């Protein structure tokens, strides 16, 4: 069995994935900000789960989270960086602060985790780094500029870092989900095609992790459609985006 560190484990895909991994008998360090939710999960799996409480956007907290893991286990075999957030840029109300908040969690949070966790992965058995990006990076959509930009940055960061880490024997997998029913997406006020439950998404990820693919995409038809639309000429993509856009708010 492997030693995992999973961020964003207190809700959504992270919570469902944590349960999948614990059910498989792995040791899982449950990373997240909500201690009560993580403790409830850990109580169901005594001896397997380790609490790793903190905010990934704060480098000092990340170091403290990993210090506890290092003291307990000494190394990690699999790291899944799943923590993230989403906000939208409303038409006519562009706010740089929204972009900054998303970059702080989705990009800098990943970066803080990488800096702190790579030394533990290097000591692990057949180390595997898994990072959750998003299917939105294949096609620019209205209102999604801040979120999409943050996840596009994660994609480029990890595809570049994968090249360097391969020489160290660390495999890198990107996860690109479509719409998944989570507390974040439940706030969305627009249709979400091909919506998956968090449990279904977690099962899909967990069953594919042992093969260490370069990328895990789902749902297949939805993500393929986004990739094909994203390959259209720029003017066609603009026309499509305008059809989906909302009018600017007063």
- Summarize pLDDT for 32-55 with one digit per residue, the tens: 999 999 999 999 998 999 999 999
- Summarize pLDDT for 153-194 with one digit per residue, the tens: 999 999 999 999 999 999 999 999 999 999 999 999 999 999
**Mean pLDDT, the chain, integer:** 96
pTM: 0.95
Residue 169's pLDDT is what?
96
Bridge-based pairing of strands 180-181 and 27-32 is unpaired
Residue 249 has pLDDT above 70, yes or no: no
Give the separation between CA 153 and CA 239, rounded to whole angstroms. Answer: 25
Element counts in the chain: helices (H) and strands (E): 9, 9
* Residue 85 near residue 57, CB atoms below 8 Å: no
- Summarize pLDDT for 190-226 with one digit per residue, the tens: 999 999 999 999 999 999 999 999 999 999 999 999 9
Give the separation between CA 87 and CA 213, rounded to whole angstroms. Answer: 29
**pLDDT band per the 50, 70, 90 thresholds, residue 250:** low
Through-space distance between the first and last CA atoms of the chain, rounded to whole angstroms: 56
User: What are the DSSP E strand ranges found in 88-199?
Assistant: 128-132, 171-177, 180-181, 196-197
Q: Of 45, 88, 147, 156, which is the active-site residue?
A: 147
Q: Which fold has domain 3-244?
A: Rossmann fold (3.40.50)
* Residue 186 near residue 141, CB atoms below 8 Å: no
Residue 79 has pLDDT above 60, yes or no: yes
Decide if 147 is catalytic. yes
């Amino acid at each position: 069995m492997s030693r995992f560190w999973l961020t964003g484990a207190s809700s959504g895909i992270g919570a469902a994935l944590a349960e999948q991994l614990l059910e498989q008998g792995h040791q899982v360090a449950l990373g997240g900000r909500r201690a009560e939710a993580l403790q409830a999960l850990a109580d169901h799996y005594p001896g397997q789960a380790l609490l790793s409480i903190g905010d990934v956007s704060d480098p000092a907290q990340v170091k403290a989270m990993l210090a506890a893991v290092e003291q307990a286990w000494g190394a990690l075999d699999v790291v899944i960086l799943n923590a993230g957030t989403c906000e939208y840029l409303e038409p006519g109300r562009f706010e740089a602060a929204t972009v900054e908040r998303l970059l702080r969690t989705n990009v800098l949070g990943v970066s803080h985790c990488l800096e702190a966790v790579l030394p533990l992965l290097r000591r692990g058995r057949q180390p595997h780094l898994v990072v959750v990006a998003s299917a939105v990076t294949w096609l620019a959509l209205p209102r999604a500029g801040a979120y999409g930009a943050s996840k596009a940055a994660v994609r480029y960061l990890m595809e570049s870092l994968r090249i360097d880490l391969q020489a160290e024997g660390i495999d890198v997998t990107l996860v690109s989900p479509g719409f998944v029913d989570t507390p974040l997406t439940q706030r969305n006020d627009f249709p979400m095609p091909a919506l998956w439950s968090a449990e279904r998404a977690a099962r899909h990820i967990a069953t594919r992790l042992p093969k260490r693919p370069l990328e895990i995409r789902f749902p297949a038809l939805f993500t393929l459609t986004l990739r094909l639309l994203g390959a259209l000429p720029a003017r066609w993509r603009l026309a499509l985006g305008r059809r989906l856009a909302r009018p600017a708010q007063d």
